[in-house]
Chain A
């Protein structure tokens, strides 16, 4: 069975017909070639697939593409400004060495932006608790926590 969808991805309108069982993450990666959104697990635990859906961070492996019909989706590819200027949270991750292999990074950044929207001045405890849904095997989280605090401060400016 196939379904029709139209949605906005990174500010651009997108229409497609997809197999009904297509996951949002597969739609983004395979149909739209937005391969910055990663797949790290099959139980909705790792957060590597996190994208923003109507301003909320969601796990794109846990949603059907059809569920994003009519929504506004932002992926890691859509965060930097048109001239290439990084989003303050992206810049903070670089500045604070909040990434190593980079595989968890897009999901971390999207989760971090969502976190800051809800907690504009998060302390370490809040950041650690809020990042519970995003696994990183490389960094030990310390520099991610630092980056999120740094990014939050930059976003407040």
Chain B
């Protein structure tokens, strides 16, 4: 942070947001109760695929307490939900982008597809009335698997997407890859499924939409990670309203993990309906609804090959992936298995040639979009499973084969479009090995063996591209939005500082971390800094929080605004101190004439800006309030090594995570306590994917079989070990904080580390391949099958 660092940077400052959460004073969307509000209930399709012959709402409209009932036919002039990223296929054509109606129009395409909105005086009345809606469905055959959907004869889901194809897209030099494979001494191969996950933030999605006749405006409270993006998409693309007439507030939000980035049908329909009923409308999803309406994550089927020379040096990689988009394109769905996936396939390695082809298909399932890590966990899983396999095939130790291929000179341009600015992969590998006590592994394995247990160890040396993104680069790749961030620093007359950030906190602790940054930079008491986020009515603009971008991009926008505040403060101070502006230094909260003890405190300068009696009014505006927009010049590249040790009971197939160690490089760290918490949470989700979680649809009926907490295995406290978490630092070279981002690392690195450990443990019994999750049932079956 430099000269004005007051010691706050790098401190485990306890979180200021905790007090309200610990006393029940948080305000989540479902806690918002505007006067005279009504309640919404969405009638959803019970079928995976069906034509709607007729919808009869007469009985529902007459039911007690019902205010209104709306179906797709009522939403005249309302457009479909947009997709924010255009992918251009290998055929040079834009992706197939079928309409995504807010309420079903003529057809339903997944279980949970919303068909009607009932507005009533109470939630019970809305729900009871929905049961009286008579929908005449003609049930059609369904397809849920992304590969099956592309087969000839598969049920056709959209007219606009022949063969259920969204796009086939490729990245990399195919000819160079083919040539390298032709002369390779060895080719390692894996066929893997990246299992579909359901995000399951513990706060279900919720919204409260109100309309004001006074000025023809709308206010929407919504559990969202990016209220400005929500407003932009809803007004400009769907409802045709001016942005000035819609205020979106994302108050306290109970976790997101990606699932609350998107513009959803429910809040869009509610904003529209709030004017029709002229009363506020409130909705909170039931968990069962969340399962069939929150965007899901992952769901890839991949064949991948790694060409090596005789020494285990990587020559080329070839990856062919099919990705499930679900029934419609969610907001960022199209870029996840392409731009955020194929570009990461170099990993931490110098593989000179890489080619990846991705085909995205539509299926009769809930739309799939970014979920913690978004594309990067899938890429890491491919790379690290391949590297593990190559090590096994060639008889090279897992740390050694990684080390032989590490990138060590920076900046490094990968063959898949990214340029890594900095990193030290040896440091994180060494750090992880030491913390994991790899030296003691052999003894632990022997001890497990004595108890009849199979022990295995797995590595995952991951990289991620975070801090999205240079907007022009993203634009060239098909992004339909900018990816900068905005920050405003308002110095109040008495010296307190209000910071408005476009980043959104739904657990990340920005109110604390950002206050640390501001207080350190201004040399003021952290208690005088207030951080405001999540309200389009107060924050100038914002792209929100996803892709581990908040500190690197949102934090930098604040730093840029602070620079402007300090620059103006110097001018004011120069006037007050009757010195040349060039001679004013700002340090420790004071503007000082260089080489003298003449100074003005930050608060004195602030007061002068608002009480400009002695002030250069001819040259300078009063006030001290600056805004900055920051568009990064590159992605940031957090990286690290995770090491997992598992112990498997061959009689039951139960996999126990015996040890899990992460050594990560997130660049500079402002609050290590918060960073460690982010890593823990990410690891739990990564381990959840590898060990427990699996979204399962019935292949015939398209019914969601894992549609509740009884069927979808969420990680619980007793499923997880205590993690060993360490960091190493190479500061990011292109933002002033030197920060890279930490929110997704755990979810990105953990699945491969765990599955590599499982494969290592099962190697001796002859199990060659196992897909996630490594549930007892699957592991037991694999052991049985291998033993014959």
Spell out A's residues near B (CB within 8 Å): 19, 21, 29, 34-43, 45-46, 48, 75-77, 79-80, 86, 90, 93-95, 97, 99-106, 109, 124, 127-129, 131-132, 134-145
CB contact between B23 and one of A36, A40, A144 (< 8 Å): that residue: A36
B507 partner residues in chain A, CB cutoff 8 A? 100-102, 138
- Check if B337 is an interface residue, CB within 8 A of chain A: no
Min distance, Cβ A150 to any Cβ of chain B, angstroms: 13
Q: Could you tell me if A109 and B22 are in contact, using CB atoms closer than 8 angstroms?
A: yes
Given A105-B22, A135-B709, check contact A141 B201 (CB 8 Å).
no
Most buried by B among A40, A80, A100: A100
B-side interface mostly: loop
Q: Could you tell me if B202 and A136 are in contact, using CB atoms closer than 8 angstroms?
A: yes
Given A45-B710, A139-B680, check contact A104 B24 (CB 8 Å).
no
CB contact between A140 and one of B19, B31, B680 (< 8 Å): that residue: B680
- 12 residue pairs of the A-B complex, CB under 8 angstroms, read A41-B287, A95-B14, A100-B509, A101-B254, A102-B17, A106-B22, A128-B718, A128-B720, A129-B718, A137-B257, A140-B683, A140-B715
Annotate B711-728 by CB proximity to A: 1 below 8 A, 0 otherwise: 000111110101100000
- Check if B413 is an interface residue, CB within 8 A of chain A: no
CA distance A93 to B506 in the complex (A): 17
Min distance, Cβ A88 to any Cβ of chain B, angstroms: 12
A-B pairs under 8 A by CB, number: 179
CB contact between A137 and one of B284, B673, B714, B717 (< 8 Å): that residue: B714
Q: Could you tell me if A102 and B720 are in contact, using CB atoms closer than 8 angstroms?
A: no
B124 partner residues in chain A, CB cutoff 8 A? 19, 21
- Check if B255 is an interface residue, CB within 8 A of chain A: yes
Given A39-B30, A102-B507, check contact A140 B718 (CB 8 Å).
no
Chain B residue nearest to A130 in the complex (CB): B717
Q: Could you tell me if B254 and A102 are in contact, using CB atoms closer than 8 angstroms?
A: yes
Min distance, Cβ A87 to any Cβ of chain B, angstroms: 9
Q: Could you tell me if B200 and A137 are in contact, using CB atoms closer than 8 angstroms?
A: yes
Q: Could you tell me if A143 and B717 are in contact, using CB atoms closer than 8 angstroms?
A: no
Using a CB-CB cutoff of 8 Å, which residues 215-258 of chain B contact chain A?
Answer: 252-255, 257
Given A95-B14, A101-B506, A140-B720, check contact A43 B287 (CB 8 Å).
yes
A-side interface mostly: loop
Q: Could you tell me if B22 and A100 are in contact, using CB atoms closer than 8 angstroms?
A: no
B680 partner residues in chain A, CB cutoff 8 A? 139-143
Q: Could you tell me if B203 and A40 are in contact, using CB atoms closer than 8 angstroms?
A: yes
B674 partner residues in chain A, CB cutoff 8 A? 97
A80 partner residues in chain B, CB cutoff 8 A? 23
Q: Could you tell me if A35 and B31 are in contact, using CB atoms closer than 8 angstroms?
A: yes
A137 partner residues in chain B, CB cutoff 8 A? 200-202, 255, 257, 681, 684-685, 714
Q: Could you tell me if B709 and A38 are in contact, using CB atoms closer than 8 angstroms?
A: no
Annotate B1-42 by CB proximity to A: 1 below 8 A, 0 otherwise: 000000000001011011111111111101100000000000
Spell out B's residues near A (CB within 8 Å): 12, 14-15, 17-28, 30-31, 124, 200-204, 252-255, 257, 284, 286-288, 506-509, 673-674, 676-677, 680-685, 708-710, 714-718, 720, 722-723, 746
Chain A residue nearest to B23 in the complex (CB): A80
CA distance A74 to B285 in the complex (A): 26
Q: Could you tell me if A145 and B708 are in contact, using CB atoms closer than 8 angstroms?
A: no
Q: Could you tell me if B24 and A75 are in contact, using CB atoms closer than 8 angstroms?
A: yes
CB contact between A141 and one of B24, B676, B684 (< 8 Å): that residue: B684
Additional 7 contacts, C-beta under 8 A, given A99-B21, A106-B24 = A38-B203, A43-B710, A94-B22, A99-B22, A101-B21, A137-B684, A142-B722
CB contact between A40 and one of B204, B288, B506 (< 8 Å): that residue: B204
Closest 10 interchain pairs by CB? A36-B24, A102-B21, A103-B254, A101-B507, A140-B680, A140-B684, A100-B507, A45-B709, A76-B24, A35-B31
B718 partner residues in chain A, CB cutoff 8 A? 128-129, 131-132
A37 partner residues in chain B, CB cutoff 8 A? 24
Given A101-B202, A140-B683, A141-B717, check contact A46 B709 (CB 8 Å).
yes
Given A102-B252, A124-B722, check contact A97 B716 (CB 8 Å).
no
CA distance A75 to B284 in the complex (A): 21
CA distance A75 to B23 in the complex (A): 9
Q: Could you tell me if B722 and A145 are in contact, using CB atoms closer than 8 angstroms?
A: yes
Q: Could you tell me if A100 and B508 are in contact, using CB atoms closer than 8 angstroms?
A: yes
Q: Could you tell me if B677 and A93 are in contact, using CB atoms closer than 8 angstroms?
A: no
Chain A residue nearest to B31 in the complex (CB): A35
B19 partner residues in chain A, CB cutoff 8 A? 94
Q: Could you tell me if A93 and B30 are in contact, using CB atoms closer than 8 angstroms?
A: no
Chain A residue nearest to B253 in the complex (CB): A101
B509 partner residues in chain A, CB cutoff 8 A? 100
CB contact between A39 and one of B284, B683, B716 (< 8 Å): that residue: B284
CA distance A103 to B21 in the complex (A): 8
Given A77-B24, A101-B507, A143-B677, check contact A43 B709 (CB 8 Å).
yes
Min distance, Cβ B493 to any Cβ of chain A, angstroms: 29
A43 partner residues in chain B, CB cutoff 8 A? 287, 708-710
Q: Could you tell me if A135 and B714 are in contact, using CB atoms closer than 8 angstroms?
A: yes
B710 partner residues in chain A, CB cutoff 8 A? 43, 45
B506 partner residues in chain A, CB cutoff 8 A? 101
Chain B residue nearest to A48 in the complex (CB): B202
Q: Could you tell me if B26 and A36 are in contact, using CB atoms closer than 8 angstroms?
A: yes
Q: Could you tell me if A36 and B255 are in contact, using CB atoms closer than 8 angstroms?
A: no
Chain B residue nearest to A136 in the complex (CB): B202
Min distance, Cβ B206 to any Cβ of chain A, angstroms: 10
Min distance, Cβ A68 to any Cβ of chain B, angstroms: 18
CA distance A29 to B716 in the complex (A): 26
Chain A residue nearest to B18 in the complex (CB): A94
Given A46-B202, A77-B24, A127-B717, check contact A97 B677 (CB 8 Å).
yes
CA distance A140 to B673 in the complex (A): 14
CA distance A42 to B710 in the complex (A): 10
Q: Could you tell me if A86 and B22 are in contact, using CB atoms closer than 8 angstroms?
A: yes
CA distance A79 to B26 in the complex (A): 15
Min distance, Cβ A20 to any Cβ of chain B, angstroms: 12
B684 partner residues in chain A, CB cutoff 8 A? 137, 139-141
CA distance A29 to B30 in the complex (A): 10
A90 partner residues in chain B, CB cutoff 8 A? 22-23
